[in-house]
Amino acid sequence: MVIQDAKLVGKIYIGSGTVVHPKTLINAKDGEIQIGKNNIIEEGAVIENLGPEGHVMKIGDDNIFETFSICQALEVGSNNVFGIKSEVGPGVEITDGCSIGAKCKVLMQEKLKPLNVVYGKQYTRRTASEKPQDHKSHLEFLRKVLPNYHMRIKNKEDGLTEKN
């Protein structure tokens, strides 16, 4: 479900069950973006493909991009959480089950190992013992409530496709 007030630029594919809030920016003008199933992209979040020319930015399933987070990663796996106002720069690869804490930044070119957690003012890192909590009930709630207050779009001339 993509809310009409989201800004979508370029060729974008969105998997079934993904919820895109109003005031988000998904910018694929420099290369295609493929977003998997059951992701939550909250208000003010920015997802941009800044990879090399022709690079396809792939985002897996069951990720949460919280309010005002910025993700410019080369690739994002599944079951990750991008905290409020977190920032992931170009050249970064996020694997599976990672959590980037609120206001934390990962800007150097690197590949985060599965279950990596970045937190605190010093962007401390550790490995979690289990993947982040499931957000299925959060998705169900959003799918019921958002259409009551916002108009949905199904596809757009600029290349948005919702995959079922």
Predicted confidence pLDDT, tens digits, the chain (164 residues): 777 788 999 999 999 999 998 899 999 999 999 999 999 999 999 999 998 888 999 999 999 999 999 999 999 999 999 999 999 999 999 999 999 999 999 999 999 999 999 999 999 999 998 877 788 888 887 777 776 666 566 554 434 554 43
Separation of alpha carbons 16 and 36, rounded Å: 7
Return the pLDDT at 15. Answer: 94
Return the pLDDT at 142. Answer: 79
Return the pLDDT at 158. Answer: 37
Angle, vertex CA 162, rays to CA 37 and CA 134, nearest 5: 20
Return the pLDDT at 163. Answer: 45
CB of 61 within 8 A of CB of 37? Answer: yes
Separation of alpha carbons 160 and 120, rounded Å: 36
Domains of the chain: 2-158 (2.160.10.10)
Return the pLDDT at 161. Answer: 53
Separation of alpha carbons 162 and 17, rounded Å: 9
Neighbours of 49 (CB within 10 A): 27
Separation of alpha carbons 122 and 67, rounded Å: 21
Region of residue 91 (phi > 0: left; psi between -120 and 50: alpha; otherwise: beta): left
Return the pLDDT at 149. Answer: 65
Separation of alpha carbons 161 and 164, rounded Å: 10
Neighbours of 14 (CB within 10 A): 25
CA dihedral (39, 101, 118, 111) positive or negative: positive
